[in-house]
């Protein structure tokens, strides 16, 4: 189904970074709804070359990027006869986002790896639809400096930050009292904390409301996802940490809210469907008619809210602590979390080891200014190494 309203605008050249992941595949679902509005110029992935090959054969981009030379050879084999330029790694990502035929970059690479191409796209004065919260968590200061110096645009895709962005439309920042991020509470909201050491990977990946990639789903289960979103919100919307509140909202219908100085609260509501914030970022400042699922208010009569339990979910507290510490502390937090989550997914550590390892690394690493990308890369590498060492210790 295409947009029912005709468009006289030229198609937007689109680069989808992380095209085979959850956000990337849903982005291409949106593109299918509006084939006359987008021209897919770049598709990238780290390792799922089979799916990327299918996407290239459907959308015919000029360029594809994969994580390694070996995967590049495999992609070329799968695409024999397809006229596509295959690039490799971070250097490939940073080069393709600056192409003159790219107008919009969907930044959906998972984790710290997404920072460098976002910076490259902003320096090339592109519109970046940001679905990678780690970019702002780790390098928010650098990102905002680049935005100040260039005619670029950064639009949030995370449902919570998209909701806040929409609630702030037409409002003066001086009237903002509190940004209220909502959290589903994940699969263990009502589970007895004494049983957390028995949590399996399969249980942690069973999210009650959202369909997401493995890393983000584990972050939701630990509530680190919400902690990272708190840091991202502070960097995106330039508010004090005291102005950011988290509320657990099990129904995931209210995606976030903004409280204003006159006592009013604005909220953005909808079914748990990432295609809506994806489309809003791609179509901004317009809203395009689309057949996404509608929220039937009469069928959803409960909207419950409760404060988060930071004793049960210490990752949220650790994120607030890192934000207040500033400098490289959020980068340390993010890298330690990524490393710990990977170990948990590989069943090398327990669920409770995730916050335990993160806190140990935060306590032991020196916090410095986050003034350059090179400094952040070094901090990221050191934090990951320390997690590996602590996890391998006899008693971590």
CA distance 27 to 391: 37
Q: What is the pLDDT of residue 209?
A: 65
Which among 118, 149, 165 has a CA at the least distance from the CA of 281?
165
Cα–Cα distance for residue pair 270/129, rounded to 1 Å? 20
Residue 216 lies in a domain: no
Among candidate residues 132, 156, 180, the one where a domain is terminated: 156
C-alpha 225/C-alpha 243 separation (Å) is 18
Last residue of one domain, picked from the residues 133, 156, 179: 156
Using CA atoms of 204, 344, 160, 143 in order, give the dihedral in degrees to the nearest 10: -170
Cis omega before residue 285 (within 30°)?
Answer: yes
Residue 293 lies in a domain: no
Our CA angle for 267, 127, 257, nearest 5°, is 10
Which of 191, 301, 183 lies closest to 252 in space, CA to CA?
183
In a domain, 67, yes or no: yes
Domain contains 221:
no
Q: Does some domain include residue 373? A: yes
CATH number assigned to the domain comprising residue 76: 3.40.50.720
Contact 80, 103 (CB under 8 A): no
Q: And the tokens for 321?
A: 């602590």
Residue 252 in any domain: the answer is no
Q: Give the Cα separation of 396 and 392 in Å (integer).
A: 7
Q: Which domain holds residue 380?
A: 326-390
CA-based angle 158:52:338, to the nearest 5?
Answer: 45
Determine phi and psi for 167, rounding to 5 degrees: -70, -25
The CATH number linked to 371 is: 1.10.1740.10
Per the structure, the count of domains in the chain is 2
Question: Is 92 inside any structural domain?
Answer: yes
Grouped pLDDT means (10 residues each) for the chain, 396 residues: 56 97 96 97 96 97 97 95 93 97 96 93 98 93 95 96 97 96 92 94 82 83 95 96 96 96 97 95 96 88 92 96 95 96 96 97 93 92 96 74
Domain boundary among 116, 138, 156: 156
Alpha helices in 108-174 (DSSP H): 115-123, 133-149, 159-167
Q: Note the pLDDT of residue 299.
A: 82
Give the model's pLDDT for residue 82: 86
For residue 101, give Cα distances in angstroms to 61, 63, 146: 11, 11, 21
Instruction: Classify 128 in phi/psi space as left (phi over 0), alpha (psi -120 to 50) or beta.
Output: beta
348 lies in some domain: yes
Burial of 309 (0-12, 13-18, 19+ CB in 10 A): middle
Is residue 17 within 8 A of residue 25, CB to CB? The reply is no
What is the CA angle 212-43-68, rounded to 5?
A: 90
């Amino acid at each position: 189904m295409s947009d029912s309203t005709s468009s006289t605008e030229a198609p937007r050249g689109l680069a989808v970074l992380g095209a085979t992941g959850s956000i990337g595949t849903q982005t291409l679902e949106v593109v299918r709804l509006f084939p006359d509005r987008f021209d897919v110029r770049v598709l990238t992935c780290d390792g799922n070359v089979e799916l990327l090959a299918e996407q290239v054969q459907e959308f015919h981009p000029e360029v594809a990027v994969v994580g390694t030379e070996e995967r590049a050879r495999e992609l070329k084999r799968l695409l024999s006869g397809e006229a596509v330029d295959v690039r490799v790694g971070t250097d490939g990502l940073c080069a393709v986002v600056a192409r003159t035929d790219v107008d919009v970059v969907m930044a959906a690479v998972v984790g710290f790896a997404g920072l460098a191409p976002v910076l490259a796209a902003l320096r090339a004065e592109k519109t970046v639809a940001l679905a990678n919260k780690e970019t702002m968590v780790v390098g928010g200061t650098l990102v905002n400096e680049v935005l100040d110096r260039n005619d670029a645009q950064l639009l949030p895709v995370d449902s919570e930050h998209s909701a806040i962005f929409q609630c702030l439309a037409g409002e003066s920042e001086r009237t903002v009292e509190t940004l209220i991020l909502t959290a589903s509470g994940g699969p263990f909201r009502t589970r007895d904390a004494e049983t957390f050491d028995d949590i399996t990977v399969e249980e942690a990946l069973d999210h009650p409301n959202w369909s997401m990639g493995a890393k983000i789903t584990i972050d939701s289960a630990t509530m680190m996802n919400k902690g990272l979103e708190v840091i991202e919100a502070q960097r995106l919307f330039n508010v004090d940490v005291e102005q950011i509140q988290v509320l657990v909202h099990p129904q995931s219908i209210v995606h976030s809210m903004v409280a204003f100085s006159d006592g009013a609260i604005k909220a953005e509501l909808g079914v748990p469907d990432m295609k809506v914030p994806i489309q809003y970022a791609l179509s901004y400042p317009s809203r395009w008619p689309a057949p996404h699922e509608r929220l039937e208010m009469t069928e959803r009569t409960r909207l419950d809210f409760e404060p988060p339990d930071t004793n049960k979910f210490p990752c949220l507290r650790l994120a607030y602590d890192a934000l207040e510490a500033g400098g490289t502390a959020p980068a340390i937090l993010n890298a330690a979390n990524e490393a710990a989550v990977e170990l948990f997914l590989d069943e090398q550590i327990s669920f409770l080891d995730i916050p335990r390892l993160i806190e140990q690394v935060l306590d032991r690493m020196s916090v410095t200014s986050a003034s350059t990308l090179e400094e952040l890369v070094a901090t990221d590498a050191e934090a990951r190494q320390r997690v590996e060492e602590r996890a391998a210790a006899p008693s971590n």
